[in-house]
C-alpha cells in the first residue's frame, strides 16, 4: 500500500498542532482540505488516527504509534536538510586530493592555505604518492581530484586542466661545485653519480625519454621514491639530480646547492588538475577546483 508522503506530512503537522486549522495555516492550505486528507489517510490505514472533540483533537493509540515513527522520520529529514544547507554554504564538507611532491610544493600548499582560511569548516584529506598511483586512486574514486605533474597518461572520462609550467634543472651539492663552473653536455656527466626517482614514476619516464632523444642511456646510481628525496640526497653530497627550478632557486641563491647548466634543452613540464568528469561534484569540490584553477593569485 503506497501512501503519499504529503499525507504523512500533513498528519505530522496536525499531530503537532492538535488542530486541523492551525496545521492548515502552517502548511499554507485550508482546513477542509486538511481534514479531507486525514480522512483519506485513516481510510487507507484502516484505523482512526484522531479523536475529534469540541476542545480540539488528540491522537488515538494507533495515531500515537504512527506519530512516533513519522516524527523520527521528519527529524531525520530536517537534519538532512540542515546538513545539505551547511555543505552548500561550505560550513562543512570534505575534500580529498591526491598529489605529487612537485605539485604539492609548487601549488597545492598555497591553495590549501587560502581555501582553509575561507572555509575552515571543510575537512581536507591530502595523500601524497607517485603520479601513476595518484591517478589510479582517482580512478578508484578514493580521491576527488589529482594534482600532479606531467607526463601523465589518462583517457576519458578523466580530464586534465593545465595550471602552471615549470622546468627542472640539474643540481649538485658543494661537492660538485666545479661542475657548475661552466656549461656541460649530459654525456660529460656520466662519470658522476646520478640520482633519480624509481621506475614507474612520471619523472623516471620523462628522463628516460630525454636521454633517449639525446642518444644516451639513462644510468641511475641511486633511486629514491619521491622528488623531495632527490633534493635531500643531493644536499647530502651523494650525487647530482634534476629538481624543479622554482623550488631549487632559493637554495641555489644561498649556496646550499649549485645549478649545473646544460647544452641540452630540458622540455617544460606542467602541473595539472585531473578530474573524473563522470562523477558529480559537491559544492566543496567545485569551490576547491575554482580556487586551484585561479592561478593568477
Query: Are 182 and 262 within one domain?
Result: yes
- Asked, for residue 74, whether it belongs to a domain, the answer is yes
Query: Are 56 and 103 within one domain?
Result: no
User: How many Å apart are CA 292 and CA 297, to the nearest integer?
Assistant: 10
Here the CATH number for the domain that contains residue 234 is 3.40.190.10
- Asked, for residue 274, whether it belongs to a domain, the answer is no
Burial (CB < 10 A; 0-12, 13-18, 19+), residue 222, is middle
- Asked, for residue 275, whether it belongs to a domain, the answer is no
Query: Are 145 and 284 within one domain?
Result: yes
pLDDT tens-digit readout, 116-160: 998 898 889 999 999 999 999 999 999 999 999 999 999 999 999
Query: Are 229 and 285 within one domain?
Result: no
Residue 267 CB partners (closer than 8 Å, separation 6+): 167, 210
Q: Which of 140, 122, 138 is nearest to 287 (CA)?
A: 122
The reply to whether the predicted model has a pTM over 0.75 is no
Q: Where are the beta strands (DSSP E) in 54-144?
A: 56-59, 94-99, 123-128
User: How many Å apart are CA 22 and CA 31, to the nearest integer?
Assistant: 8
Alpha carbon 114 to its chain centroid, in Å, reads 15
pLDDT tens-digit readout, 231-268: 999 999 999 999 999 999 999 999 999 999 999 999 99
The set of cell numbers assigned to 280 is 558529480
- Asked, for residue 200, whether it belongs to a domain, the answer is yes
- Asked, for residue 184, whether it belongs to a domain, the answer is yes
Inter-residue contact 192 to 222 (CB < 8 Å): no
Q: Which domain, by its residues, includes 135?
A: 94-158+280-293
Q: Where are the beta strands (DSSP E) in 74-114?
A: 94-99
Number of domains in the chain: 3
Percent of the chain with pLDDT over 70: 96
Here the CATH number for the domain that contains residue 42 is 1.10.10.10
Could you give phi then psi for residue 205, rounded to 5 degrees?
Answer: -65, -40
Query: Are 211 and 143 within one domain?
Result: no
Amino acid at each position: 500500500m503506497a501512501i503519499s508522503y504529503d499525507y504523512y506530512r500533513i498528519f505530522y503537522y496536525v499531530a503537532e498542532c492538535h488542530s486541523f486549522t492551525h496545521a492548515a495555516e502552517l502548511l499554507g492550505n485550508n482546513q477542509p482540505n486538511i481534514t479531507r486528507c486525514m480522512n483519506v489517510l485513516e481510510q487507507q490505514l484502516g484505523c482512526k488516527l484522531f479523536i475529534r472533540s469540541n476542545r480540539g483533537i488528540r491522537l488515538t493509540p494507533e495515531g500515537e504509534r504512527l506519530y512516533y515513527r513519522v516524527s523520527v522520520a521528519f527529524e531525520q529529514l530536517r537534519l538532512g536538510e540542515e546538513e545539505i544547507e551547511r555543505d552548500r554554504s561550505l560550513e562543512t564538507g570534505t575534500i580529498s586530493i591526491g598529489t605529487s611532491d612537485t605539485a604539492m610544493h609548487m601549488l597545492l600548499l598555497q591553495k590549501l592555505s587560502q581555501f582553509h582560511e575561507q572555509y575552515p569548516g571543510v575537512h581536507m584529506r591530502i595523500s601524497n604518492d607517485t603520479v601513476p598511483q595518484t591517478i589510479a586512486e582517482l580512478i578508484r574514486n578514493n580521491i576527488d581530484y589529482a594534482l600532479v605533474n606531467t607526463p601523465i597518461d589518462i583517457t576519458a572520462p578523466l580530464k586534465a586542466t593545465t595550471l602552471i609550467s615549470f622546468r627542472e634543472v640539474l643540481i649538485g651539492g658543494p661537492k660538485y661545485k666545479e661542475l657548475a663552473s661552466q656549461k656541460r653536455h649530459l654525456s660529460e656527466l656520466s662519470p658522476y653519480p646520478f640520482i633519480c626517482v624509481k621506475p614507474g614514476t612520471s619523472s623516471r619516464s620523462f628522463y628516460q625519454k630525454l636521454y633517449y632523444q639525446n642518444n644516451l642511456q639513462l644510468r641511475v646510481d641511486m633511486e629514491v621514491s619521491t622528488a623531495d628525496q632527490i633534493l635531500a640526497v643531493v644536499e647530502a653530497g651523494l650525487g647530482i639530480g634534476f629538481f624543479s627550478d622554482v623550488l631549487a632557486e632559493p637554495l641555489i641563491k644561498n649556496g646550499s646547492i649549485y645549478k649545473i647548466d646544460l647544452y641540452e634543452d630540458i622540455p617544460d613540464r606542467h602541473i595539472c588538475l585531473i578530474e573524473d568528469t563522470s562523477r558529480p561534484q559537491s559544492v566543496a569540490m567545485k569551490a576547491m577546483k575554482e580556487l586551484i584553477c585561479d592561478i593568477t593569485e
